[in-house]
Amino acid sequence: MAQVLEFKLPDLGEGLTEAEIVRWLVKVGDVVAIDQPVVEVETAKAMVEVPCPYGGVVTARFGEEGTELPVGAPLLTVAVGEPAAEPEGSGNVLVGYGTQAPAARRRRVRAGTAGVDGQVRRPGTASAAPHARVHAPAPAPASDPTPAPAATQASPPAEGPVPVISPLVRRLARDNGVDLRRLAGSGPDGLILRADVEDALRAGAGRTRTAGEPVVPASAAAPTGGEPAVRAPAAAPRAGDGARVPLKGVRGAVADKLSRSRREIPDATCWVDADATELMRARTAMNAAGGPKISLLALLARICTAALARFPELNSFVDTEAREIVRLDQVHLGFAAQTERGLVVPVVRDAHARDAESLTAEFARLTESARAGTLTPAELTGGTFTLNNYGVFGVDGSTPIINHPEAAMLGVGRIVPKPWVHEGELAVRQVVQLSLTFDHRVCDGGTAGGFLRYVADCVEQPAVLLRTL
């Protein structure tokens, strides 16, 4: 008899705790090889193809496309041969990140629908163990047309284990005082889904309080060691309410990071207008000389790294626990990139050691990966300073929020013809607004102003700097 092994959603690194199933790459009955990608998932930072460390026959899949799973939750089970011996496995959790699948292939499935493979979801809780041996549940008949019943309140509580596979569903029920034993799930074999708990909250079914007992406000704390306080049911949608968009994935990660930045960093912003006419001419001349084209962003990045060498206070972060400012020797330059998945900040490693040509090539590579959704978590973390070119959106100025835990961000507006006094006469020049948002804990206004003035001077008179590129 073959041995059946369960493969759980692995820890994808960089502090990620959950992922959404975008597309299954295998189905029940398929034969998979060791390290073969079996599912494409979307995390808060990247699209990732997850390979299975076992070789054998897929006997069950857990989770529909569009379902969000926590790390450690079951993904699939694989039947392998040689039950008497330890099964062969690679131990490689990830062979690579990303996929070139177009966004149109991402299908969202409403919670509560039947699985595409028709498999019965096994009740249980997620475990952080890398691999656990289990026996796969028997598949449910795929041809049964009978719709699953909606979640209803059972008269007496059910005996035996509660059919819930998701720890998120258990937590939702626990936090809102819903007795899962009183619910009949709408999933396969009565599996209780998140939608069932939400329906119960709207209907007031499955409450743990007795009839006539007032609902304890959500702010009431539970006694130490006791059950969580019962909360009021979630408000039902009202006529005229707009759509609700879950804060998850990239949008959720951005919201969390920006909120933390606002809470922890006492930021301030200063700005200046600069005449970028000579910088634009210099770039035109460099590109006319032949060789690889140099991007404007690369020239601005080169100016930033030169400015950070003169004002190292801004290439740092604050260690709040140690109450220390940590100054960094290397400049890993982040740059804001808008994609279909939301705002991401890829990082150019060792930007201080790159010339304009190398910076141009790296910006292009990371931008293409960002648009394709194939950036790795390592390419989205570890920045020490961020360059934000919001001028591409046709705006002049901004007060950017610092990319926590960095200490500063330089914003660049659009470059447009404007009246400007040049050499004592009024002329039409190419003008740009530069803004610097900085952590006031790492420096005072004099340092921030000095940094920004140096950047503006390089934009206005780039010849001396460009000779070093």
Return the H-helix or E-strand segment holding 319. Answer: strand 316-319
What's the alpha-carbon Rg for the chain, to the nearest Å? 28
CA separation for the pair 310, 333 (Å, rounded): 16
φ, ψ of residue 449 in degrees (nearest 5):
-65, -35
Nearest residue to 313 (alpha-carbon basis) of 436, 407, 195, 182: 407
Nearest residue to 50 (alpha-carbon basis) of 32, 37, 65: 37
CA separation for the pair 370, 282 (Å, rounded): 29
374: left (phi over 0), alpha (psi -120 to 50) or beta: alpha
Please tell me which residue in 144, 256, 355, 444 is annotated as part of the active site: 444
Contact 299, 353 (CB under 8 A): no
**How many residues does this entry show for the chain?**
469
Q: Is 440 among the residues known to form the active site? A: yes
SS (H, E, C) 120-180: CCCCCCCCCCCEEECCCCCCCCCCCCCCCCCCCECCCCCCCCCCCCCHHHHHHHHHCCECH
CA separation for the pair 312, 327 (Å, rounded): 7
Contact 30, 119 (CB under 8 A): no
Please tell me which residue in 256, 319, 350, 440 is annotated as part of the active site: 440
Spatial neighbors of 196 by CB under 8 A, at least 6 apart, are 112, 151, 183, 185, 186, 187
C-alpha distances in Å from residue 428, one per residue of 174, 312, 422: 66, 35, 9
- E strands along 383-465, which residues? 385-388, 408-412, 416-422, 425-439
CA separation for the pair 426, 421 (Å, rounded): 4
| Cα-Cα end-to-end distance for the chain | 67
C-alpha distances in Å from residue 256, one per residue of 43, 44, 205, 247, 248: 14, 11, 33, 9, 10
Tell me 195's DSSP state. H
Tell me 183's DSSP state. B
Q: Is 131 among the residues known to form the active site? A: no
Catalytic residues: 440, 444
